[in-house]
Amino acid sequence: MRTNVPSDLEISRSARLLPVAEVAAAAGIPEDALELFGRYKAKVDPALLPGNRVPGRVVLVTAMSPTPAGEGKSTVTVGLADALQRAGKNVFIALREPSMGPVLGMKGGATGGGYSQVVPMEDINLHFTGDFHAITSANNALAALVDNSIFQGNPLGLDPRRITIKRVLDMNDRALREIVIGLGGPAQGVPRQDGFDITVASEVMAVFCLARDLTDLTERLARITVGYTYDRRPVTVADLGAEGAMTLLLRDALKPNLVQTLAGTPALVHGGPFANIAHGCNSVIATRTARRLADIVVTEAGFGADLGAEKYLDIKSRVADVAPDAVVVVATVRALKMHGGLPREQLAEENLPALEAGTANLRRHLENIRRFGINPVVAVNRFATDTEAELHWLREWCATEGVGAAVADVWANGGGGPGGDELAATVLEALGRPVDFRFLYPDELPVAEKIRTVARDIYGAADVEFALPARRRLDEIAARGLEHLPVCMAKTQYSFSDDATALGAPSGFTIHVRDLSIKTGAGFVVALTGAVMTMPGLPKAPAALNMKVAADGTPSGLI
Amino acid sequence: MRTNVPSDLEISRSARLLPVAEVAAAAGIPEDALELFGRYKAKVDPALLPGNRVPGRVVLVTAMSPTPAGEGKSTVTVGLADALQRAGKNVFIALREPSMGPVLGMKGGATGGGYSQVVPMEDINLHFTGDFHAITSANNALAALVDNSIFQGNPLGLDPRRITIKRVLDMNDRALREIVIGLGGPAQGVPRQDGFDITVASEVMAVFCLARDLTDLTERLARITVGYTYDRRPVTVADLGAEGAMTLLLRDALKPNLVQTLAGTPALVHGGPFANIAHGCNSVIATRTARRLADIVVTEAGFGADLGAEKYLDIKSRVADVAPDAVVVVATVRALKMHGGLPREQLAEENLPALEAGTANLRRHLENIRRFGINPVVAVNRFATDTEAELHWLREWCATEGVGAAVADVWANGGGGPGGDELAATVLEALGRPVDFRFLYPDELPVAEKIRTVARDIYGAADVEFALPARRRLDEIAARGLEHLPVCMAKTQYSFSDDATALGAPSGFTIHVRDLSIKTGAGFVVALTGAVMTMPGLPKAPAALNMKVAADGTPSGLI
């Protein structure tokens, strides 16, 4: 494989993109359904699409437990779709929008990498079409209305100590994690302890991504719990009357964004909730719109399959008809060796015993996917340091496990080239097999039992311990008649357990649920295990300090 | 005149707009300089415009001291431009973008009104093309980098008590005026007292609106003072190294936005700084771009002529070649009667003595404009309650004063109709007269003397008193070699004095400068007189609570 690959930004900027109007026309999107944002981005109005074709089949790309070595899930998603298009298939990508905050911090963007990217990467990674700004605005309008209601005589009787929504910014801003607002005396506000989250951690983001249409969006927004009264009755957005203004602020953003890959494959990039305190996949509207336009939709779930895929399958697929027809689990030789106990510094060396030990992690993810009635396939995302012996051994292992496997060489060579052909063929074969999709648990299972089911069946836990705050929330869930809600586990992505250092496939452990967060708008109960960071900080040397714009507008320093 | 005029939103939504690409083509904008944002909004890249025509002449619309009765400056601006277009002139409008926060509060939008609007009003009044979100992001990225620098060992030695930039939101959010951030212990931040401003009050907004191009933008951003060290040395954005990332976040926003009026007149709506702590007019780039495209550019300055026009003439016109060739002072019979002592409840009744008394206010504004070498004209913005006798008297008065005058009936009938013909003719006549433009004061006058000059010559003050904090800042200005900067007065818009209740034309008063704010990026010194609100609050019954979106996307409740 090639190793002298330019930076993602250089590749994106040197690419010759098709005008997005041409991409749309080729994808069967009528001109009047397209709202251009410059030459290479557009919004698509689902209401103006033709409605009479068989919905496309869904390929969900997920991964083994991530490691700092990187697994390249978005890169494989893009590369696979490009390869399917190259194989003559009518294909669409549905991806999350990146959050800008981490881009200014240290994380690369979330648009794939190398020669498997959605482009223009600098647009998509920064403001894009303004969706996250709209979500920030809708959320913060709600927060301002809540504090204004408390200020203006507090007619709803809100307890300032029990406001459950926070203001948000799409920024890594540690100093806003814990703040006191409303200082300055009677004319300035009512003091209370508060904090900002990053926009992607907001319930408004989760609602946005689960809404089926504008009406559903308004109804979900109306159901968001904003806080409690002094006598602990929940107060919702509807009590405040803010759902109309919030919908108005989100109206245009709700239309999915059309872009293309470097190989010209159409992609809807829309919505981007956290994968721990939220469900971690692109909007329901984008996935459904893509299904109306293509025979195959390649989409992605956040983090490893224990978090992202489980939520895609148990939360998103419960809301809308988006259950996958095939699931691809991305693995890398490097990540497997790390789960097999090899320290990061030794990952570049061939080590078959560590590779073998690491398959314990991958195996459990594969077993988990089968619990949903789908036999997954493995995509080995190739890195330059992988040896032929390692790749050969891994293929053999997959065959023994009874799963299809393919080495994807799409980062260095692009899915538009032959690097994704094997993966495309493997996925097409998987799409030919019957699927008997089922949820992990039924709606009617009580929330505590749902959490136990996920912990036992997906994580391999022996037990679940609910701390006192969590037990109180369970009582509230029963009292409010919310036991039917699915659960959304907030757990470290690095381990099946709630201990980030327990790599491989730990078992017999206890999952500690310290608290629950009842998301009545999004329609799930978040189970919080361990500390969950909902407002990241900037590192010592933020990426932002290397960014520049030349006089002619050429950017540099984006990673 | 018509009195049964529908709401601004109803008029805007029932209008048949031209595709913005057609508006652009008619205005001489080449297709490759246009970046569409849907069908009716676009950004224009000034770098791709033809560059070989005589720059258009500038008509500045300003007003007498505003009253709660309303003066309709934007409405007259739009109506005048429509009437000039109707008269066969090649005309462009340059206007500020509205701030979204007040739209959710109680203020109507800032897109004109009645049949003299720029449209689509609901887009322009909400997210528009995302410029304000970009400015919010650039400002807040800077703030996060500042607090991160303090957190990561504070290599610049920033004094957490002396940070001069604030975070911003485009929201009316009283509870964020005075806050404490960085709580939670060593891992969360360094505690300090802080606050949020509304986005339009930020120095980044002022910089954005005064920048001539991307390079100038970067240089101005780099010069912004973010705070002081413990030994009181100023620390700038350049010391932090954040100007590149900020420019990157503002790069696309810096291109002016093209929309149209109800009559199809092209308008560049771009940037919107406060008119008290900043200079209160649309971007330099928009005005200059409009001059490259049209023979006449109609633009507007915020508040009354003592604030908005003075700043347009002394600040904006010093930065770029945008000095006006004609100035229109908008007056209303109602506002004149209020300045003449009539209470608000009696404004609907004919009252010639009050009208006459109120002309003292208008007269001083007219005299002030003449100090800049321009003989202004008066536009009487007609209201339904104005009587023929009042309008007749006012015309006569203007004739006696030696200024051209016209009654504009553009709100009810639109500038596309005959309601603006008289005003257009009056303005064209004014454009035929010679102008001997001069600044009120030279660059080399010390800042304190500049403030005295504005207070004496424009406001009619007898004296200026500098409080101790202001005197300390004057010392700092001398020490940092910043005496060449122009001044930007932050004063109530309701009176020539710093007492909002002193209507008419007070004189002999003292202006109290309580503090100065040195805006090294924007390039002016703000003189703060009285309390200046930089983060508005929401009223008891916020407009947001009446806003709705129908299932088909139709909005309602915007005012």
pLDDT tens for B237-271 read: 999 999 999 999 999 999 999 999 999 999 999 99
**B300 and B373 in a common domain:** yes
- CATH number of the CATH domain containing A239: 3.30.1510.10
- Interchain pair A189, B177: CB under 8 A: yes
C-alpha separations of B8 from A453, B81, B121, B125, B332 in Å: 56, 18, 8, 12, 20
**B402 and B267 in a common domain:** yes
Residues of A in contact with B537 (CB under 8 A): 148, 151
pLDDT at B109: 63
A 10 A CB-CB count for A432 gives: 9
Farthest CA pair distance, chain A: 72
pLDDT tens for A481-531 read: 999 999 999 999 999 999 999 999 999 999 999 999 999 999 999 999 988
d(Cα A205, Cα A140) in Å, to the nearest integer?
A: 12
Give the tokens for residue B446. 């010390």
Residues 6+ apart with CB under 8 A from A475: none
A383 is catalytic: yes
CB contact at 8 A, B382 and B1:
yes
Give the tokens for residue B208. 């954005």
* Residue of B182, B252, B549 lying closest to A247 (CB–CB): B549
Cis peptide, bond prior to residue B50, ω within 30 of zero = no
d(Cα A87, Cα A79) in Å, to the nearest integer?
A: 12
- Mean predicted confidence (pLDDT) in A390-407: 97
**A296 and A243 in a common domain:** no
**Of residues A112 and A514, more confidently modeled:** A514
If you measure CA to CA, which chain A residue comes closest to B44? A38
Name the nearest CA neighbour of A423 among A162, A72, A16: A72
A524: β partners: A519
pLDDT band at A5 (very low <50, low <70, confident <90, very high): confident
Residue A6 lies inside a defined structural domain of this protein:
no
Lowest mean pLDDT segment, chosen from A275-279, A462-466, B510-514: A275-279
A397 is catalytic: no
pLDDT at position B1 over 60: no
Torsion of CA B85, B87, B89, B95, to 10 degrees: -40
Helix (H, G, I), strand (E, B) or coil at A269: strand
- Mean predicted confidence (pLDDT) in B218-245: 98
* Residue of B39, B136, B179 lying closest to A183 (CB–CB): B179
Residues of A in contact with B214 (CB under 8 A): 549, 551-553
* Residue of A175, A188, A553 lying closest to B178 (CB–CB): A188
Residues of B in contact with A37 (CB under 8 A): 35-38
**B304 and B422 in a common domain:** yes
pLDDT at B415: 67
* Domain's final residue, options B212, B230, B250: B250
C-alpha separations of A29 from A42, A50, A131, A261 in Å: 11, 8, 21, 17
Residues of B in contact with A39 (CB under 8 A): 35
**B388 and B278 in a common domain:** yes
pLDDT at A418: 87
Q: What residues of B are annotated to the active site?
A: 73, 75, 96, 107, 275, 303, 383, 411
Residue B538 lies inside a defined structural domain of this protein:
no
Name the nearest CA neighbour of B311 among B97, B65, B78, B524: B524
Residues of B in contact with A251 (CB under 8 A): 549, 553, 555
pLDDT band at A3 (very low <50, low <70, confident <90, very high): low
Mutate which of A149, A181, A213, A226 to test chain B, going by most B C-beta atoms within 10 A? Answer: A181
pLDDT tens for B3-59 read: 678 888 888 888 899 999 999 999 999 999 999 999 999 999 999 999 878 999 999
A 10 A CB-CB count for B18 gives: 15
Residue B51 lies inside a defined structural domain of this protein:
yes
d(Cα B226, Cα B224) in Å, to the nearest integer?
A: 6
* Residue of B249, B537, B557 lying closest to A126 (CB–CB): B249
Residue B462 lies inside a defined structural domain of this protein:
yes
Give just the sign of the alpha carbon dihedral B472, B473, B475, B476: positive
- Interchain pair B551, A213: CB under 8 A: yes
- Mean predicted confidence (pLDDT) in A414-430: 90
ipTM surpasses cut 0.90: yes
pLDDT tens for A290-333 read: 999 999 999 999 899 999 999 999 999 999 999 999 999 999 99
If you measure CA to CA, which chain A residue comes closest to B160? A175
pLDDT at B52: 78
**A298 and A191 in a common domain:** no
pLDDT at A106: 82
CB contact at 8 A, A227 and A164:
yes
Name the nearest CA neighbour of A519 among A510, A528, A532, A511: A528
- CATH number of the CATH domain containing A83: 3.40.50.300
**A69 annotated binding-site participant:** yes
**A221 and A177 in a common domain:** yes
Residue B367 lies inside a defined structural domain of this protein:
yes
Instruction: Kindly report the nearest CA distance between residue A249 and chain B, in angstroms.
Output: 7
If you measure CA to CA, which chain A residue comes closest to B21? A36
Residue of A73, A292, A382, A491 marked active site:
A73
* Domain's final residue, options B186, B221, B250: B250
A 10 A CB-CB count for B40 gives: 20
pLDDT band at A144 (very low <50, low <70, confident <90, very high): very high
pLDDT at B171: 97
Q: Does pTM surpass 0.95?
A: yes
A316 is catalytic: no
pLDDT at B128: 96
The string over B66-87, giving b where at least 16 C-beta atoms fall within 10 Å of a residue's C-beta and e elsewhere, is bbebebbbbbbbbbbbbbbbbe
**B74 annotated binding-site participant:** yes
- Interchain pair A242, B545: CB under 8 A: yes
Residue of A128, A274, A372, A383 marked active site:
A383
Residue A1 lies inside a defined structural domain of this protein:
no
- CATH number of the CATH domain containing A474: 3.10.410.10
A 10 A CB-CB count for A348 gives: 14
Residue A539 lies inside a defined structural domain of this protein:
no
**A135 and A122 in a common domain:** no
**B123 and B173 in a common domain:** no
Lowest mean pLDDT segment, chosen from A504-518, B96-110, B437-451, B520-534: B96-110
Instruction: Kindly report the nearest CA distance between residue A199 and chain B, in angstroms.
Output: 12
- Interchain pair A244, B549: CB under 8 A: yes
* Residues in chain B, overall count: 559
- Interchain pair B183, A183: CB under 8 A: no
- Interchain pair B173, A143: CB under 8 A: yes
pLDDT at A112: 86
CB contact at 8 A, A360 and A323:
no
The DSSP code sequence of A20-61 is HHHHHHHTT--GGGEEEETTTEEEE-GGGS---SPPPEEEEE
Residue B7 lies inside a defined structural domain of this protein:
no
**A178 and A61 in a common domain:** no
Residue of A92, A303, A372, A466 marked active site:
A303
* Residue of B127, B136, B145 lying closest to A542 (CB–CB): B145
- Interchain pair A177, B169: CB under 8 A: no
Residues of B in contact with A198 (CB under 8 A): none
Instruction: Kindly report the nearest CA distance between residue A112 and chain B, in angstroms.
Output: 21
Residue of A132, A208, A411, A466 marked active site:
A411
pLDDT tens for A424-455 read: 999 999 999 999 999 999 999 999 999 999 99
Backbone angles phi, psi at A247, to 5 degrees: -65, -40
- Interchain pair A127, B190: CB under 8 A: no
CB contact at 8 A, A388 and A530:
no
Give the tokens for residue A542. 């933020």
Give me chain A's average pLDDT, please.
Answer: 95
**B286 annotated binding-site participant:** no
- Interchain pair A144, B549: CB under 8 A: no
- Mean predicted confidence (pLDDT) in A58-78: 92
A452: β partners: none
**Of residues A212 and B110, more confidently modeled:** A212
Mutate which of A35, A140, A174 to test chain B, going by most B C-beta atoms within 10 A? Answer: A174
* Domain's final residue, options A229, A250, A271: A250
* Residue of B38, B136, B558 lying closest to A35 (CB–CB): B38
Is B276 exposed, middle or buried, given 0-12, 13-18 or 19+ CB atoms closer than 10 A? buried
A187 is catalytic: no
Residues of B in contact with A174 (CB under 8 A): 144, 147-148, 151, 182, 188-189
Residues of B in contact with A127 (CB under 8 A): 130, 133-134, 137, 249, 252
- Interchain pair A140, B171: CB under 8 A: yes
**A540 annotated binding-site participant:** no
Angle among Cα A224, A227, A232 to the nearest 5 degrees reads: 120
pLDDT band at A78 (very low <50, low <70, confident <90, very high): very high
Q: How many helices (H) and strands (E) does chain A have?
A: 20, 26
Residue of A75, A199, A261, A520 marked active site:
A75
pLDDT tens for B292-327 read: 999 999 999 989 999 999 999 999 999 999 999 999
Residues of A in contact with B140 (CB under 8 A): 169, 171, 173
A37 is catalytic: no
Range of the domain at B462: 447-529
**A495 annotated binding-site participant:** no
Distance from chain centroid for Cα A448: 24
**B414 and B290 in a common domain:** yes
Between A and B, how many CB-CB pairs are < 8 A? 233
**A340 and A271 in a common domain:** yes
DSSP H helical ranges for B115-257: 121-125, 131-151, 203-210, 214-223, 237-240, 243-250
Name the one residue in this structure whose structure tokens are 């540690």.
A174
* Residue of B100, B152, B553 lying closest to A540 (CB–CB): B152
How many domains, chain A? Answer: 3
pLDDT tens for B374-430 read: 999 999 999 999 999 999 999 999 999 999 999 999 888 876 778 999 999 999 999
